[in-house]
Amino acid sequence: MCRSSLLLSGALIFHRFSGDELERRVCQSPDATIIQRVALLRCGSMTHSIDLDQRYVGIAVVGRDESTLTCTAPSDGAVAPPGYYMLFLVDRAGRPCEYARFLRVESLPEEDPVQVPEVLDLNQPRARRVIEEAGLVPRFVGAVNADPSYVIKQRPSAGEDVPRGSTVMCYLKAGTPP
């Protein structure tokens, strides 16, 4: 049996649309009845031997017929940060589709964007508290197990407007700030 193929999918999906219901997207495949899983794979971005971006995001299939799968979009930016992903279909035998399709995941702008707080030179617990109080999700990389450690870089930068619930990447260095 040959691997399944993905004929069509939307080029852009959003985390949420109006209301609390997740956006639904349709994928068309001549083999829709044998598809077991749908997944998004974010392409890596390697720097200094560290790949912080690559991730696998399983997508729930909520409906199907002979040639169509209906799926829900990722719930928020902590699950699937905005950017480009490859969409894969995986059949019951565990084989991925022959060719993936690229699509872009974006967050819908909210009526009241949140301003990213300044956390440079703060220790990890304090930075976490400041970010969470702003309605954002902190993610720490680098010297996460060092005590003490402090933030040497953050992304997005302080002062940027982002949707509530967005992830703020904090890069930590062991020690105390200069």
CATH of the domain at 62: 2.60.40.10
List, for residues 72-83, the tens digit of each pLDDT value.
777 667 777 777
Q: Are both 80 and 126 inside the same structural domain? A: no
Q: Is residue 7 part of a domain?
A: no
Q: Are both 102 and 16 inside the same structural domain? A: yes
Q: Are both 127 and 98 inside the same structural domain? A: no
Residues 88 and 97: their CA atoms lie apart, in Å, by 6
| Per-residue confidence (pLDDT) for residue 172, from 0 to 100 | 93
Residue 121: give its domain's CATH number: 3.30.10.20
**Helix, strand or coil, per DSSP, at residue 26:** strand
Q: Are both 73 and 151 inside the same structural domain? A: no
Q: Are both 67 and 142 inside the same structural domain? A: no
Q: Are both 22 and 100 inside the same structural domain? A: yes
Q: Is residue 4 part of a domain?
A: no
User: What single-letter amino acid sits at 55?
Assistant: R
> Cα dihedral angle (81, 86, 87, 92), rounded to 10 degrees?
-110
| Per-residue confidence (pLDDT) for residue 108, from 0 to 100 | 61
| Per-residue confidence (pLDDT) for residue 132, from 0 to 100 | 94
CB contact at 8 A, 136 and 87 = no
Q: Are both 18 and 102 inside the same structural domain? A: yes
Contacts of 90 (CB under 8 A, 6+ apart): 35, 36, 37, 38, 39, 96, 97
Domain count, the chain: 2
- Residues of the chain below pLDDT 70: 1-28, 46-48, 51, 75-76, 107-111
Domain membership of residue 157 as a residue range? 114-174
| Per-residue confidence (pLDDT) for residue 109, from 0 to 100 | 58
| Per-residue confidence (pLDDT) for residue 1, from 0 to 100 | 34
List, for residues 136-159, the tens digit of each pLDDT value.
999 998 888 888 999 999 988 899
